[in-house]
């Protein structure tokens, strides 16, 4: 295919020659009028496989993002049709990736089109229990009775809800890090949790057979337990991530690790590996031997080889970290959807998952914090249902309008169970998901506001009447605190009661 250029290095495949973004916008609008959703995404497929209704979600999303960079209203301010074209592109992506939302569109009461709720159950006709391999040792997962995994664990893995350990190498992996094998051509293919309730083709050369993913019967009790455990797991992971962020912030303030001279550290015997050639000196622990080695280490070929090895190792580590982040993003999104996918629970999503939601809804994320991304998505949802391509609550160009936020009531179900232990920044994200903006500047005041709202809405009788007084909160763990802290210490410090004597 030929390409469309937007003047900023972006390109999308279009029939017949190199044309500008205005032509791409016109083509998208024309295809939108004909409801040619696959044809719209194929404008951006380049030399890749053709996009069809059976293509993997990952392939659809790549085409969507590629073309959105060309026709986005922010990049085409002089074209009045850019907004409509972008909305047409977003609608095409949503129609193909989530067709279940548009089944039986004709509403008998209104005769209008509208989204329908997802089906609770589906058929397993044409579905396979696809092979899943460990990404480290390539051993098939959960195919023997020795592992003792129930069949429905396959559902949880493929939905992105849980990660499991390989019984051979004990490596933990999820659906985004596992190796997925096509049941027909036995080659690897790219999988997304959103593909689980669809029938797809693997996209490998010469293989065009459609298949779905088997859904095993799961009892209501198991589902109830799963909802509780995945939410608890998500909250623990969020706490761990926040602890790591605060440690990194504290280390940066103190300058820990900055300006370390590796050669000096080696010469003082603090490290065993030569920073120039990579040779280990663990057998010669004396500082004199290491200083002598450093003076004689002048082989430029060895230095270059070691530098290349370090780069490769760092690239591998970065790729592994990125893959792990992708898995956590998918897991947080799957958990959020399983628990209802409500706007007031957007705090569950990781920053990566929020960025993906913003990209899919056309919201520019550059320079936005997690709190700001949540607020933008919440404004776009309006009635609690996320919409692609804009809708009435967004300004042209995909940027959230600056109108009033829809306030959503805080309840024990919509709040994290460990919100008292959250940092100030995390609490602001929780407030943003509920459409609330607090004027408080410290964690204690925000917790008091949340407590007041919960007390007003829980319907419980208070002895003595009136509002119950909120619990006093210690504010010594704010983000600006530079002291060491223990995460096991309670956040709430209850007031001491006066001693009373019995009659």
Cβ-Cβ contacts under 8 Å for 234 (sequence gap 6 or more): 331, 332, 335, 348
| CA atoms 204, 209, 212, 216: torsion sign | negative
Determine phi and psi for 269, rounding to 5 degrees: 80, 15
CA 357 to CA 398: how far, in whole Å? 12
Q: Which residue has the higher pLDDT, 439 or 158?
A: 158
Per residue in 162-193, pLDDT (tens digit) is 999 999 999 999 999 999 999 999 999 999 99
CA 278 to CA 293: how far, in whole Å? 11
pLDDT band with cut points at 50, 70 and 90 for residue 73: confident
Element (H, E) at 242: helix 220-254
Q: Closest by alpha carbon to 86, among 20, 40, 17, 36?
A: 40
DSSP assignment letter at 398: S
Q: Closest by alpha carbon to 418, among 447, 457, 460?
A: 447
The mean pLDDT of 293-315, rounded to a whole number, is 91
Determine phi and psi for 101, rounding to 5 degrees: -75, -15
Contact 163, 174 (CB under 8 A): yes
The encoded tokens of residue 41 equal 């995404």
Would you say residue 293 has pLDDT above 90?
A: no
- For residue 106, count other CB atoms closer than 10 A to its CB: 9
Q: Closest by alpha carbon to 39, among 95, 82, 123, 115?
A: 95
Per residue in 460-473, pLDDT (tens digit) is 433 333 444 443 33
The encoded tokens of residue 254 equal 């103190």
Element (H, E) at 329: helix 300-338
Q: At what angle do helices 443-457 and 424-433 cross, to 10 degrees?
A: 40
Question: What does the pLDDT read at residue 152?
Answer: 94
CA 27 to CA 15: how far, in whole Å? 10
Would you say residue 140 has pLDDT above 60?
A: yes
* CA separation, residue 217 to residues 124, 317, 334 (Å): 11, 38, 19
Q: Cα angle vertex 195, ends 123, 175, to 5°?
A: 115
Would you say residue 502 has pLDDT above 60?
A: no
CA 37 to CA 96: how far, in whole Å? 7
Burial label for 63, CB within 10 Å (0-12, 13-18, 19+), is buried
Contact 457, 430 (CB under 8 A): no
DSSP assignment letter at 14: E
Question: What does the pLDDT read at residue 381?
Answer: 67
Burial label for 421, CB within 10 Å (0-12, 13-18, 19+), is middle
Tell if the pTM clears 0.75, that is, is over it: no
| Residue 310 Cα to chain centre, angstroms | 29
| Residue 221 Cα to chain centre, angstroms | 28
Would you say residue 348 has pLDDT above 60?
A: yes
Would you say residue 106 has pLDDT above 90?
A: no
CA 102 to CA 114: how far, in whole Å? 7
């Amino acid at each position: 295919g030929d390409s469309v250029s937007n003047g900023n290095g972006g390109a999308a495949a279009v029939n017949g020659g190199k044309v500008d973004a205005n032509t791409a916008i016109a083509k998208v609008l024309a295809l939108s009028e004909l409801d040619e959703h696959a044809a719209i995404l194929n404008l951006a497929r380049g030399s890749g496989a053709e996009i069809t209704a059976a293509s993997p979600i990952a392939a659809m999303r790549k085409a969507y993002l590629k073309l959105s960079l060309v026709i986005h209203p922010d990049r085409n301010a002089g074209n009045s049709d850019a907004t409509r074209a972008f909305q047409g592109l977003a609608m095409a992506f949503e129609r193909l990736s989530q067709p279940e939302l548009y089944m039986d569109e004709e509403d008998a009461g209104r005769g209008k089109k509208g989204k329908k709720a997802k089906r609770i159950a589906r058929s397993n006709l044409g579905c396979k229990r696809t092979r899943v391999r460990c990404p480290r040792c390539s051993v098939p997962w959960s195919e023997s009775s020795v592992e003792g995994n129930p069949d429905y664990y396959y559902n949880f893995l493929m939905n992105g809800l849980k990660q499991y350990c390989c019984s051979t190498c004990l490596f933990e992996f999820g659906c985004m890090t596992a190796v997925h094998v096509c049941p027909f051509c036995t080659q690897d293919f790219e999988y997304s949790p959103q593909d689980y309730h669809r029938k797809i083709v693997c996209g490998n050369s010469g293989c065009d057979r459609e298949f779905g993913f088997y859904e095993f019967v799961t009892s209501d009790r198991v589902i109830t337990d799963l909802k509780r455990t995945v939410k608890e797991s998500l909250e623990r992971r969020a706490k761990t991530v926040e602890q790591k962020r605060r440690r990194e912030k504290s280390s940066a303030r103190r300058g820990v690790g900055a300006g370390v001279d590796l050669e000096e550290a080696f010469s003082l015997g603090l490290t065993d590996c030569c920073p120039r050639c990579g040779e280990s000196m663990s057998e010669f622990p004396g500082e004199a031997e290491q200083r002598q080695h450093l003076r004689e280490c002048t082989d430029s070929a060895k230095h270059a080889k070691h530098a290349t090895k370090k780069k490769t190792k760092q690239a591998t580590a970065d790729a592994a970290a990125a893959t792990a982040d992708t898995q956590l993003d998918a897991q947080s999104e799957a958990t959020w959807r399983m628990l209802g996918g409500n706007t007031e629970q957007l705090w569950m999503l990781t920053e990566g998952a929020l960025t993906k939601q913003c990209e899919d809804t056309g919201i520019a994320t550059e320079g936005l914090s997690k709190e700001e991304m949540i607020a933008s998505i919440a404004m776009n949802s309006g009635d609690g249902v996320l919409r692609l391509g804009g809708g009435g609550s967004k300004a042209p160009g995909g940027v959230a309008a600056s109108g009033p936020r829809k306030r959503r009531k805080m309840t024990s179900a919509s709040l994290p169970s460990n919100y008292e232990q959250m940092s100030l920044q995390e609490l602001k994200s929780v407030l943003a998901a509920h459409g609330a903006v607090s004027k408080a500047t410290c964690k204690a005041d925000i917790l008091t506001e949340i407590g007041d709202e919960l007390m007003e809405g829980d319907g419980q009788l208070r002895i003595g009447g009136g509002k119950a007084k909120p619990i006093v909160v210690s504010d010594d763990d704010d983000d600006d605190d530079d002291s060491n802290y223990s995460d096991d210490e309670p956040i709430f410090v209850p007031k001491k009661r006066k001693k009373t004597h019995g009659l």
